[in-house]
Structure 1
Amino acid sequence: MGMQWLLVCHGLITLLVVISFLCGQWPIFQGTFVERIHYFLTFGAYDYFQRLVGAVFGSKGTNFILSIEYFCCDRPNPILQILYVAIIGGIYYMIANSCFSYMPGYYLSGAHRYISLMGVVVGILFFILTSFSDPGIVKAENVLQYLNAYPYDEVLYKEKECTTCKIPKPARSKHCSICNRCVARFDHHCGWMNNCIGERNNRYFLGFLLWHLLLCLYGSVAVALVLAGRLKELRVVYILTVYYGIENTFRDLAPHVVQWLLRSYNTQILLMIFLAIVSLLLAGFFGYHVNLCLTNTTTNETFKWQEHLTWQKKLNEARASAAALKASISDLRTEAKPPESKWRAFFRKSPLEDAVEAIAKQNTYNKGCFSNLGEVIFPFSSRPSFSQTKTKAG
Structure 2
Amino acid sequence: MFWKKRYSELLSSIFFLSMIIIVFIFEVFVIRPYLLESNVSNFVTLHLFMAIVLLTNTCLNLYLVVHTDTSIIGMVMPSITPLPPQWHYCYACESNTPPRSFHCKTCNRCILRRDHHCVFTSCCIGYKNYKYFMGLLFNVGFACTYATIMHWHYIWLNINHLGLWAIAAHSVPLGFYLLGMIDLWTTCCNIISMLCIVGAIFASGLFIYHFNLLRMNRTTYERAKSIADYDLSDWRRNLSETLGDRWLLSIFLCPLIKSSLPGDGVHFQTKQEKYLQNKQI
For 2:124 and 2:133, locate their aligned partners in 1 and report how far apart those are by CA, in whole Å: 10
Per the alignment, do residues 276 and 205 of structure 1 end up closer, same or farther by CA in structure 2, a change over 3 Å counting? same
Residues 256-335 of structure 1 mapped to structure 2, 5 A cutoff: 266=186, 268-303=189-224, 305=225
For 1:191 and 1:372, locate their aligned partners in 2 and report how far apart those are by CA, in whole Å: 26
Residues 168-179 of structure 1 mapped to structure 2, 5 A cutoff: 168-179=96-107
Any stretches of 5+ residues in structure 2 without a counterpart?
A: 79-83, 171-181, 246-259, 268-281
Structure ranking higher on relative contact order (CA contacts 8 Å, 6+ apart):
1
Q: Does 1:363 align with 2:248?
A: no
Q: Does 1:81 align with 2:6?
A: no
Q: Which amino acid aligns with 2:102?
A: K
Could you give the per-residue CA deviations for residues 314-338 of structure 1, whole angstroms, max 9, x where no partner exists? xxxxxxxxxxxxxxxxxxxxxxxxx
User: Percent sequence identity over matched residues?
Assistant: 22
For 1:161 and 1:68, locate their aligned partners in 2 and report how far apart those are by CA, in whole Å: 27
Could you give the per-residue CA deviations for residues 227-284 of structure 1, whole angstroms, max 9, x where no partner exists? 69x79xxxx9xxxxxxxxxxxxxxxx965xx69x998994545533431232112222
Residue in structure 2 matched with residue 143 of structure 1 by the alignment: 77
Q: TM-score w.r.t. structure 1 length?
A: 0.49
For 2:264 and 2:29, locate their aligned partners in 1 and report how far apart those are by CA, in whole Å: 50
For 1:139 and 1:366, locate their aligned partners in 2 and report how far apart those are by CA, in whole Å: 27
Checking the alignment, whether the CA contact within 8 Å between 1:186 and 1:199 is kept in structure 2 is yes
Checking the alignment, whether the CA contact within 8 Å between 1:294 and 1:372 is kept in structure 2 is yes
State the SS of the aligned residue for 1:179. Answer: coil
Residues 194-213 of structure 1 mapped to structure 2, 5 A cutoff: 194-213=122-141
Could you give the per-residue CA deviations for residues 188-219 of structure 1, whole angstroms, max 9, x where no partner exists? 11222122110000110011001100000010
The Cα of 1:127 is off from its aligned counterpart by 0.6
For 1:386 and 1:219, locate their aligned partners in 2 and report how far apart those are by CA, in whole Å: 38
Q: Does 1:221 align with 2:156?
A: no
Aligned residues: 229
Q: Which amino acid aligns with 2:114?
A: F
Q: 1 or 2, which has the higher helix percentage?
A: 1
Residue in structure 2 matched with residue 188 of structure 1 by the alignment: 116
The Cα of 1:184 is off from its aligned counterpart by 1.0
Q: Which amino acid aligns with 1:285?
A: L
For 1:274 and 1:223, locate their aligned partners in 2 and report how far apart those are by CA, in whole Å: 13
Ranges of 4+ aligned residues in structure 1 off by more than 4 Å: 66-69, 225-228, 261-265, 267-270, 382-387
Residue in structure 2 matched with residue 374 of structure 1 by the alignment: 240
Checking the alignment, whether the CA contact within 8 Å between 1:130 and 1:204 is kept in structure 2 is yes
Per the alignment, do residues 142 and 374 of structure 1 end up closer, same or farther by CA in structure 2, a change over 3 Å counting? farther
* Larger Rg, first or second structure (1 or 2): 1
RMSD of aligned C-alpha atoms?
3.7
Residue in structure 1 matched with residue 274 of structure 2 by the alignment: none
State the SS of the aligned residue for 2:88. Answer: coil
Any stretches of 5+ residues in structure 1 without a counterpart?
A: 1-65, 145-150, 153-157, 237-252, 306-358, 390-394
Checking the alignment, whether the CA contact within 8 Å between 2:241 and 2:261 is kept in structure 1 is no
Residues 19-58 of structure 1 mapped to structure 2, 5 A cutoff: none
Q: Does 1:103 align with 2:38?
A: no
For 1:268 and 1:90, locate their aligned partners in 2 and report how far apart those are by CA, in whole Å: 11
Could you give the per-residue CA deviations for residues 43-82 of structure 1, whole angstroms, max 9, x where no partner exists? xxxxxxxxxxxxxxxxxxxxxxx78852435xxx754433
| Segment drifting more, 200-209 vs 181-190 | 181-190
Per the alignment, do residues 227 and 180 of structure 1 end up closer, same or farther by CA in structure 2, a change over 3 Å counting? closer
